[in-house]
């Protein structure tokens, strides 16, 4: 056995994090760990992610000083098919978060071309060290031996009950005795364990080019879905150059266009970089109000066609981050803080999946991996006899700003997901990311500020009170509402939640001290997150 690799991993479930930690103990690197954790999350976080979903991985290889982003998000299907969608194949469900209800569409016509399995294989193949069967083994054990349902899984099961129990296959997994699994029960994915073992032997082409791919497409040809064999065979994991920008004395690497999230995070942080925050400003009135005003300005920028342009105009983000653009945004923020009437309107647009998870890993060699993945809320439709529920990315209003089924076949769907790495003097010092639809960008920029501007520990940075401005309303967790001027945000425009909530995302972060080569981190309490350190 190789000498174990020191490092740390933060994720949304202990079993997910433990799968990654096992790879570090076996001498693997951060990319072995993130791949193993990703496969394990398909079991442990089954309502948030899936081999039938999509995602992104931002990576940094310290030895080569190489930064990269793997784009394995979902693509628009429909190659070789007529685009006919009926109410029987595409219909709404309501998900009640408590203070907010969101509508999502499910059914066969909600399914986009999946990428998650291909993405994890690509990450491991190009950057990992351990054998692929070793990387997949923890997920196989979890699927076959079962995962104990915790409080957070119980909550997601109840939220997504109409989707999880839509089909007989779904009911056999999530309500095997006629009632929905609850906290303390054990979730088994026997068919998925067999599928994982087959993938370990045959690779991802099993899903995209082999007999299983043909079975998928026969199923969709008969049930009104748009997914075709040509969609699957033409799907590729794309390697992109991360969006790179400076904030204070750090450099951030995050998700570039055609995704929307990274550019919006960069914009709001560059706006706020003009404010000289101090550590003692944490949750103080001026800092809270500056963040709210910056969110309003950023959302107003977004409302002027950002989501449509970001997929078509490669120069859009550079244009937004140009000095004159940032200066203009800072002036607008000052107007809002002063209560001037000619400040920009507060508006918002589409975002991304609410059912999303994140994994952060760093190792002693200075490698860093930041992976965010999603299955949307799930379509309710399974690949027969595999245990894989496919995504509902075509049923996410947030992801389809021009209307459902409007993208051309093959086009990557945009997303708010923004797996991020922080560098200082070209050394990775933090890995961060979040789930949470539109709230992803708010969760990430606030966590980054907590780390850099306010000098908070990873635990404090991740689990501090959060806010999110959207469509003229400020949603906020308890702890900061008394600090806000009615002039900036009248009480009628505020929704103050009674406690922290998964609505505000799930930030999982790992930090590293390069001089001592020591690690810390935190999982988001809102989503049952954990951090495991391997010494």
Q: Specify if 495 maps to a domain.
A: yes
From residue 185, how far is each of 16, 154, 175, 384 by CA, in Å? 18, 9, 11, 25
Q: Torsion angle, CA of 33/164/355/225, rounded to 10 degrees?
A: 100
Give the Cα separation of 475 and 495 in Å (integer). Answer: 5
**pLDDT tens digits along 148-204:** 999 999 999 999 999 999 999 999 999 999 999 999 999 999 999 999 999 999 999
Q: 231 and 247 share a domain? A: no
DSSP 166: S
Residue 344: predicted pLDDT: 52
Q: Report how many domains make up the chain.
A: 2
Give the Cα separation of 7 and 532 in Å (integer). Answer: 9
Query: Phi and psi of 362, rounded to 5°?
Result: -140, 150
Q: Specify if 86 maps to a domain.
A: yes
Residue 153: predicted pLDDT: 94
Local confidence pLDDT in tens for the 535 residues of the chain: 578 999 999 999 999 999 999 999 999 999 999 999 999 999 999 999 999 999 999 999 999 999 999 999 999 999 988 787 888 899 998 877 666 677 889 999 999 999 999 999 999 999 999 999 999 999 999 999 999 999 999 999 999 999 999 999 999 999 999 999 999 999 999 999 999 999 999 999 999 998 889 888 888 887 888 999 999 999 999 999 999 999 999 999 999 999 999 999 999 999 999 999 999 999 999 999 999 999 999 999 998 888 888 888 778 999 999 999 999 999 999 999 998 755 555 445 444 445 899 999 999 999 999 999 999 999 999 998 999 999 999 998 778 877 888 889 999 998 999 999 999 999 999 999 999 888 999 999 999 999 999 999 999 999 999 999 988 899 999 987 777 888 899 989 999 998 998 889 999 999 999 999 999 999 999 999 999 999 9
Q: Which residues are catalytic?
A: 356
Domain stops at, among 333, 364, 399? 399
Q: Specify if 132 maps to a domain.
A: yes
Quickly list DSSP for 364-410. TTS-EEEEEEE-TT--S-EETTTTEEPP-GGG-GGG-TT-TT-SPTT
The runs of H, that is alpha helices, within 76-203 are 116-127, 132-145, 151-159, 161-164, 168-174, 190-202
Residue 349: predicted pLDDT: 47
Strands 54-61 and 186-187: unpaired
**Which residues, at least 6 apart from 319, have a Cβ–Cβ distance to it below 8 Å?**
325
Domain stops at, among 365, 399, 433? 399
Q: 321 and 461 share a domain? A: yes
Selection from 284, 237, 249, 245 nearest residue 267 by Cα: 245
Residue 126 backbone zone (phi > 0: left; psi -120 to 50: alpha; other: beta) = alpha
Give the Cα separation of 488 and 141 in Å (integer). Answer: 53
Angle between helices 30-44 and 116-127 (to 10 degrees): 160
Give the Cα separation of 211 and 207 in Å (integer). Answer: 8
Q: Specify if 409 maps to a domain.
A: no
Q: 497 and 382 share a domain? A: no
DSSP 177: T
Q: Specify if 363 maps to a domain.
A: no
Helix (H, G, I), strand (E, B) or coil at 512: strand
Q: 525 and 483 share a domain? A: yes
From residue 201, how far is each of 21, 158, 195, 359 by CA, in Å? 23, 36, 10, 25
Residue range(s) defining the domain that contains residue 322: 240-352+418-529
Q: 19 and 113 share a domain? A: yes
Residue 308: predicted pLDDT: 81
Q: Specify if 535 maps to a domain.
A: no
Q: 198 and 337 share a domain? A: no
Residue 354: predicted pLDDT: 59
Q: 186 and 233 share a domain? A: yes
Residue 220: predicted pLDDT: 85
Q: 155 and 227 share a domain? A: yes
Q: Specify if 407 maps to a domain.
A: no
Q: 92 and 39 share a domain? A: yes
Give me the CATH number covering residue 282: 3.60.20.40
Q: 311 and 446 share a domain? A: yes
Residue 203 backbone zone (phi > 0: left; psi -120 to 50: alpha; other: beta) = left
Q: What is the pTM of this model?
A: 0.96
Q: 291 and 326 share a domain? A: yes
Q: 158 and 271 share a domain? A: no
Q: Specify if 80 maps to a domain.
A: yes
CB 462 within 8 A of CB 522: yes
């Amino acid at each position: 056995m190789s000498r174990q690799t020191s490092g740390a991993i933060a994720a949304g479930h202990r079993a997910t994090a433990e799968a990654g930690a096992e790879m570090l103990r076996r001498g693997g690197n951060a990319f072995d760990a993130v791949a193993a954790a990703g496969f394990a999350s398909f079991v442990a976080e089954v309502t948030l992610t899936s081999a039938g979903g999509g995602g992104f991985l931002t990576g940094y290889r310290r030895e080569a000083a190489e930064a990269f982003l793997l784009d394995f998000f979902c693509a628009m299907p429909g190659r070789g098919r007529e685009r006919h969608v009926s109410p029987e194949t595409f219909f709404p469900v309501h998900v009640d978060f408590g203070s907010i209800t969101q509508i999502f569409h499910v059914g066969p016509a909600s399914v986009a071309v999946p990428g998650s399995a291909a993405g994890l294989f690509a990450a491991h193949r190009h950057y990992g060290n351990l054998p692929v069967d070793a990387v997949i083994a923890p997920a196989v054990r979890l699927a076959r031996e079962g995962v104990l349902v915790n409080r957070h899984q119980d909550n997601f099961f109840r939220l997504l009950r109409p989707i999880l129990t839509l089909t007989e296959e779904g009911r056999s997994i999530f309500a095997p005795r006629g009632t929905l699994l609850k906290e303390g029960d054990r979730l088994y994915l026997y068919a998925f364990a067999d599928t994982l073992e087959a993938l370990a032997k045959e690779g991802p082409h099993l899903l995209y080019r082999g007999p299983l791919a043909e079975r998928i497409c026969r199923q969709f040809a008969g049930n009104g879905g748009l997914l075709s064999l040509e969609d699957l065979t033409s799907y590729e994991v794309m390697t992109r150059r991360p969006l790179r920008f400076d904030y204070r004395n750090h450099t951030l690497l995050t998700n570039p266009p055609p995704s929307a999230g990274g550019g919006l995070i960069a914009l709001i942080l560059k706006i706020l970089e003009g404010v000289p925050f101090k550590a003692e400003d944490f949750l103080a009135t001026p800092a809270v109000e500056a963040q709210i005003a910056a969110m309003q300005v950023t959302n107003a920028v977004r409302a002027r066609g950002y989501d449509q342009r970001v997929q078509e105009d490669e120069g859009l983000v550079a244009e937004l981050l140009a000095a004159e653009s940032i200066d203009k945004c800072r002036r607008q923020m000052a107007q809002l803080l002063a209560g001037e009437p000619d400040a920009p309107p507060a508006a918002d647009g589409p975002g991304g999946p609410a059912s999303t998870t994140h994994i952060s890993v760093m190792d002693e060699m200075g490698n860093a991996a930041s992976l965010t993945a999603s299955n949307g809320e799930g379509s309710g439709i399974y690949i027969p006899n595999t245990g894989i529920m496919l995504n509902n990315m075509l049923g996410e209003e947030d992801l389809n700003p021009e209307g459902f089924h409007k993208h051309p076949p093959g086009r990557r769907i945009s997303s708010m997901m923004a797996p991020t790495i922080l560098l200082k003097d070209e050394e990775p010092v933090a890995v961060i990311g979040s789930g949470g639809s539109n709230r992803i960008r708010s969760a990430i920029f606030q966590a980054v500020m907590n780390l850099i501007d306010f000098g908070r520990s990873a635990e404090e940075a991740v689990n501090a009170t959060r806010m999110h401005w959207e469509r003229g309303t400020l949603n906020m967790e308890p702890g900061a509402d008394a600090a806000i001027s009615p002039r900036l945000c009248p009480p009628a425009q505020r929704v103050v939640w009674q406690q922290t909530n998964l609505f505000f995302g799930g930030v999982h972060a790992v930090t590293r001290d390069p001089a001592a080569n020591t690690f810390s981190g935190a999982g988001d309490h809102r989503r049952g997150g954990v951090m495991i350190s391997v010494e």
